[in-house]
Amino acid sequence: MALLAVRDLSIDIAGIKPLDGIGFAVDKGEILGIVGESGSGKSLTALTVMGLLPLIGGRVARGSIRFDGTELTTLPEPDFRRLRGRRIAFITQNPMTSLDPVMRVGAQIDQVSRLHLGLDAKAAQARSIALMERLRLPSAATVYHHYPHQLSGGMKQRIVIAMALAADPDLIIADEPTTALDVTIQAQIVQLLVELVRDRGVALILITHDMGVVAQACDRVVVLYAGRVAESHGVQAIFAAPRHPYTQALIRCIPRDGMAPGSLAGIPGSVPSVANYPAGCRFHPRCDRAGAPCAATVPPLEHLPSGAEVACHFAETREVANA
Amino acid sequence: MSADTAITARRADFRRSVAAKVMLTPKGGIAGAYLILLVLLALFAPWIAPYPYDAQNLKIASQAPSLANWLGTDEFGRDVLSRIIYGARTSLSVSVTAISVSVFVGMALGAAAGYFGGLFDRAVTTIVDLSWSFPEILLALILVAIIGPGLHSTMFAIGIAYLAQFTRLTRAQILSLKGETYVEATINLGASHGHIVFRHLMPNALAPVIVCGMLATGDAIILEATLGFFGLGAQPPVPSWGAMMSSGSALIFKAPWIIIFPGLVVAVTVIAINLFGDALIRALDIRARLREG
Amino acid sequence: MPEPARDLVRIRALGKRFDSRKGLFGKRRSLKAVSDVTLDIPRGKVTGVVGESGCGKSTLARLVVRLLRPSDGNVMFDGVDLGRLSNREMRRLRRRIQMVFQDPYSAIDPRYTVADALLEPFQVQGTRLSAQQARDKVTELLAMVRLGQELARSYPHQLSGGQRQRIGIARALAFKPDFLVLDEPTASLDVSIQAQIIALLEQLKAELGLTYLFISHDLGLVRYFCDRIVVMYLGRVVEVLPAPRAKPRHPYTRTLLDSTFAPDPTQRRDISRLTGEIASAYDLPAGCAFAARCAFADETCRARVPLLAADPDGHAVACFHPLT
């Protein structure tokens, strides 16, 4: 039984359905990558799992989200509030806007453990400083008293991660946690998240558009396209033998060593907006393998014996050994 | 579709759509209709007003509203309604002319200061800050006191009183627009200062300044009335709303209509201008940018 | 007729200092955004400049196209010293030197349609076009960046990021320039769109014989796209790789390479040794700017600034303890 299992999830925002039957699972000590371009529904998935959909006027139309035996789609908001921040934590893309500019960063971390764990001020401070040291913030005891504007982007993101960890959650959802950071800092933060999962046994959902980050950090991958799952599988298998043309195209977008000039192609066109989803397979207008059935019928998500799931009429069916 | 005509045509489209947006809101529509009516009355006063503005008849002095004189007569027996209609000419022409010139000069000063910076900017900013520390009314009174009463000095005084406001707003707009990538991108194409200022900065800075000018016109009508009330504006027998109220103040208990009706028109006109300005702000979606300024 | 010089652009000892004051009475601070950069940009090649925030790469780009004036040194374009040109001459020369900007969302005036934006280069350069010529130009430029002419009447907010960046490129190409400075043209785009734009730039280079200076923070992308790579750190060039696959010799370049993840889980990078933050460009340390983050740094590194020294292959490195 996975810690978090999402099944056949569809949501409705003012009559439009930006997520349509998506599913995935993540267990403790595991990193699940959710990838796709902007507009594929990655962030909405995070918002839905966090129970924050009503904030943007949406609701779960169908499907279930089970977290540690509790059904979240029907959970009343007061109960959800006890879960959010306490057992499910969220790390946002932009550390600049997720910190309160007029509050010392240490106090912001303290807040979380005082609220959720009932610690007193002293215990909370000790815990926060310990966390900051664990996250390799230099001279944590000093930085504790700093304001956000005194810190660099990488340090701020570490503070945000410390806030997420402060209540000792079981599941962390990180939405593009490194996109706004410099490459060397991004690498450090990714490394840090991987270590946290290994040491503390938390479950991590890493939302990203970067197949490089996925390859570096994740155990399993769900590829979303236009609100549907295109493919999901273990990280080794999905990179060794991607079955869905979209997954293949996404991988080809990242230049790698030894690539000949002119071989970087990208994916033609762009993700359609929710109002303009095409019929049939939503990827077919951009797909180089699309045939007659693609425009007509929605390809079902097939479960292959290897554990792979793929939704494509022309999926590559050969299996790979290290699946 | 040459480059210039295409851009001009597009702007005409844009202007039409803004006009539609303003007039289609209830408040904007009513306020707009009232203001259009007022302008028409002022333009065609000789044909619309039942009596000439200076037709005295002491026999019917200070008479209450009646069928012959809908809004009554003043202390010289002149028709109040006719004088209000003619007064609209004075009030509107003074305030609109003064504010238009003020907006024009303010934009030029503000744009030059914001765009070129340096010593000129510092000089302009210092003068603006200095004049900002006086209330407009005080500034206008001082100016009229110096150059003497009359319509032209009223216009001049009002124009100067509001100049700081437009200069400051334009300068702030230009400063923030200057940092936009498209300005840098246009310099990169080889554009001259003139092209950048007149094709990019000014058009993008225009909307908030226009709205600000609109709202200031409301204030200017009050200011004009105030100067008129003190006898510093239009000189008799030329009617102005302020002067009418001033002369009516002596008879406020005996013949209150002499002061009430012009006062009412001033109030309604100012409210209409403000409502119209609000609708314009909404239609142009510039609330945030006005706050910046 | 003499053979044209191999290098289209020669940059000599270029430096840029920004002076600012903290508060009204605060002490003056000076930021050295770019220090002592010497660099040749060969014709028909892609020269890449890579580095992180604060390394001065965007300032360098603006100095090269004279959107900023240097504090020291000079930029020679095809034998002409840009610093000696009058404003009028420089404006004229912008037909040959163009730049594509990072943020496609604000690089076009929101009040301009695509057609307006594409015709603006002709407007500012004083080229009169008839209505028919203008229509043809718009169609031609849109086709050049693989966009349909139905976009001509759209406003920027109606376009996707990738489409806007193509419009930015089309504007830059209006006068068929020789030299294009690309300032992180794909940094704010999705990877799928980034790959499209890079592919387009590759094709345009071949079609029009362009020379590129490509600025990026992504070493992986630069290694794919560029013929030569210049690595900058806090305003200085720390290494010049003569070929994209050349083995890094500066510890910082090595760090950058280790931070670039390949889309291949069998080649995971070991990044456990990576530490430290980028210093502020306002108070640079005395010696090598990278010393504080460098595993090999010693007293020499903290005391003196290492100079860029090239080997016979043109591989230059500014380090007292280069990797072998």
- DSSP conformational letter for A149: G
Q: Does A266 touch chain C (CB under 8 A)?
A: yes
User: Could you tell me which residue, B10 or C188, shows the higher pLDDT?
Assistant: C188
Residue C38 lies in a domain: yes
C-beta atoms of C52 and A183 within 8 A: yes
- DSSP conformational letter for C149: G
Structure-token pair, residue C208: 């029009």
Specify whether the CB–CB gap between B251 and B62 falls below 8 A. Answer: yes
User: What per-residue confidence (pLDDT) applies to A122?
Assistant: 93
Kindly give, in sequence order, each residue whose CB lies less than 8 Å from that of residue A144, ignoring residues fewer than 6 positions away: A104, A105, A106, A125, A128, A129, A132
Q: Which of C112, C124, C134 sits opposite B189 (nearest CB)?
A: C124
What does DSSP say about strands A228-234 and A309-310: parallel, antiparallel, or unpaired? Answer: antiparallel
The radius of gyration computed from the CA coordinates of chain A, to the nearest angstrom, equals 20
The radius of gyration computed from the CA coordinates of chain B, to the nearest angstrom, equals 22
- Please compute the mean of the pLDDT values over residues A197-215 and round it to a whole number: 92
User: What per-residue confidence (pLDDT) applies to B292?
Assistant: 42
- Please compute the mean of the pLDDT values over residues A66-77 and round it to a whole number: 92
Q: In angstroms, what CA-CA distances link C260 with A212, A219, A223, A239?
A: 8, 19, 21, 17
User: At CB < 8 Å, which residues of chain B contact C?
Assistant: 1-7, 10-11, 14, 180-182, 184-192, 195, 199-200, 203-204
Binned at pLDDT 50, 70 and 90, residue C284 comes out as confident
Residues 104 through 133 of chain C touching chain B, CB cutoff 8 Å = 106-113, 115-116, 119-125, 129-131
C-beta atoms of C264 and A239 within 8 A: yes
Residue B156 lies in a domain: yes
- Please compute the mean of the pLDDT values over residues B250-276 and round it to a whole number: 89
Structure-token pair, residue A13: 């925002």
User: Could you tell me which residue, C319 or A93, shows the higher pLDDT?
Assistant: C319
Q: How far is CA A253 from the centre of its chain?
A: 20
Rounded Cα gap, residues A236 and A23, in angstroms: 20
3-state secondary structure of A22: strand
- Please compute the mean of the pLDDT values over residues C252-261 and round it to a whole number: 90
- How many Cβ atoms are within 10 Å of C232's Cβ, its own excluded? 24
Instruction: Delineate the domains of chain A, giving CATH numbers in brackets.
Output: 27-55+77-87+170-323 (3.40.50.300), 97-168 (no CATH)
Q: How far is CA A316 from the centre of its chain?
A: 26
Please tell me the distance in Å from C37's CA to the nearest CA on chain B.
Answer: 22
Buried b (16+ CB within 10 A) or exposed e, A142-164: ebbeeebeebbbbbbbbbbbbbb
* The amino acid at A254: I
Q: Does C259 touch chain A (CB under 8 A)?
A: yes
- Please compute the mean of the pLDDT values over residues A182-195 and round it to a whole number: 88
Please tell me the distance in Å from C86's CA to the nearest CA on chain A.
Answer: 38
pLDDT digits (tens, 9 = 90+) for A228-274: 999 999 999 999 999 999 999 999 888 887 788 888 888 888 888 88
C-beta atoms of A210 and C191 within 8 A: yes
C-beta atoms of B184 and C103 within 8 A: no
Residue C101 lies in a domain: no
What does DSSP say about strands A203-208 and A31-35: parallel, antiparallel, or unpaired? Answer: parallel
C31 φ, ψ (degrees, to nearest 5): -110, 125
Binned at pLDDT 50, 70 and 90, residue C71 comes out as very high
Residues of chain C positioned with their CB less than 8 A from the CB of A207 = none
Rounded Cα gap, residues C275 and A184, in angstroms: 9
pLDDT digits (tens, 9 = 90+) for A277-313: 999 999 999 998 888 889 999 999 988 888 889 999 9
Helix extents (H) in C17-108: 57-64, 87-93
Most confident of A146-160, C27-41, C193-207: C193-207
Specify whether the CB–CB gap between A173 and A91 falls below 8 A. Answer: yes
Residue C226 lies in a domain: yes
Residue B177 lies in a domain: yes
The backbone region for C88, taken as left when phi is positive above 0, alpha when psi lies in -120 to 50, beta otherwise, is: alpha
3-state secondary structure of C211: strand
Q: Which of C101, C131, C172 sits opposite B181 (nearest CB)?
A: C101
ipTM score of complex: 0.88
* Among B66, B61, B65, B64, CA closest to B77: B61
Q: B202-229 and B80-116 are packed helices; what angle lies between their axes, rounded to 10 degrees?
A: 140
C-beta atoms of C111 and B191 within 8 A: no
Residue B5 lies in a domain: no
C-beta atoms of A183 and C199 within 8 A: no
- Please compute the mean of the pLDDT values over residues A5-29 and round it to a whole number: 92
Q: Which domain holds residue B87?
A: 13-292
pLDDT digits (tens, 9 = 90+) for B3-15: 455 555 555 666 6
Strand C7-21's sheet: what is its strand order? C28-42, C7-21, C72-77, C80-81
C-beta atoms of C111 and B190 within 8 A: no
* The amino acid at C234: L
Rounded Cα gap, residues A162 and C216, in angstroms: 30
Which strand (E) or helix (H) includes residue B6?
helix B3-24
User: What per-residue confidence (pLDDT) applies to A263?
Assistant: 84
Structure-token pair, residue A137: 């913030």
pLDDT digits (tens, 9 = 90+) for A114-145: 989 889 999 999 999 999 988 888 888 899 99
User: What per-residue confidence (pLDDT) applies to C66?
Assistant: 95
pLDDT digits (tens, 9 = 90+) for C13-48: 999 998 876 666 667 778 889 999 999 999 999 999
Residues of chain C positioned with their CB less than 8 A from the CB of B195 = 123-124
Residue B54 lies in a domain: yes
Residue C324 lies in a domain: no
pLDDT digits (tens, 9 = 90+) for A213-239: 999 999 999 999 999 999 999 999 999
Cis peptide leading into residue A245 (ω within 30°) = no
Residues of chain A positioned with their CB less than 8 A from the CB of C224 = 255-256, 259, 261, 264
Chains B and C touch (3+ CB pairs under 8 A): yes
Give me the CATH number covering residue C204. Answer: 3.40.50.300
- Please compute the mean of the pLDDT values over residues C215-229 and round it to a whole number: 93
Chains B and A touch (3+ CB pairs under 8 A): no
Q: Which domain holds residue C265?
A: 7-96+175-317
3-state secondary structure of A21: strand
Specify whether the CB–CB gap between A112 and A106 falls below 8 A. Answer: no
Q: Which of C202, C255, C266 sits opposite A184 (nearest CB)?
A: C255
Q: What is the mean pLDDT of chain A?
A: 89
Domain total in chain C: 1
Mutate to test the interface with B, among C64, C105, C123 (most CBs of B within 10 A): C123
Specify whether the CB–CB gap between B61 and B85 falls below 8 A. Answer: no
Residue B275 lies in a domain: yes
Specify whether the CB–CB gap between A200 and A169 falls below 8 A. Answer: no
Specify whether the CB–CB gap between B94 and B155 falls below 8 A. Answer: yes
Residue C167 lies in a domain: no
Residue C107 lies in a domain: no
Residue C203 lies in a domain: yes
Residue B271 lies in a domain: yes
pTM value is 0.86
For the cut 60, the answer to whether the pLDDT of residue B188 exceeds it is yes
C-beta atoms of C265 and A215 within 8 A: yes
C-beta atoms of A152 and C277 within 8 A: yes
Residues of chain C positioned with their CB less than 8 A from the CB of B4 = 123
Rounded Cα gap, residues C214 and B4, in angstroms: 33
User: What per-residue confidence (pLDDT) applies to A323?
Assistant: 36
Give me the CATH number covering residue B129. Answer: 1.10.3720.10
Q: Which of A188, A235, A266 sits opposite C274 (nearest CB)?
A: A188
For the cut 80, the answer to whether the pLDDT of residue C292 exceeds it is yes
* Among C52, C44, C46, CA closest to C252: C52
Domain total in chain B: 1
Nearest CA in chain C to B3: C119
Cα–Cα–Cα angle for A66, A68, A73, nearest 5°? 25
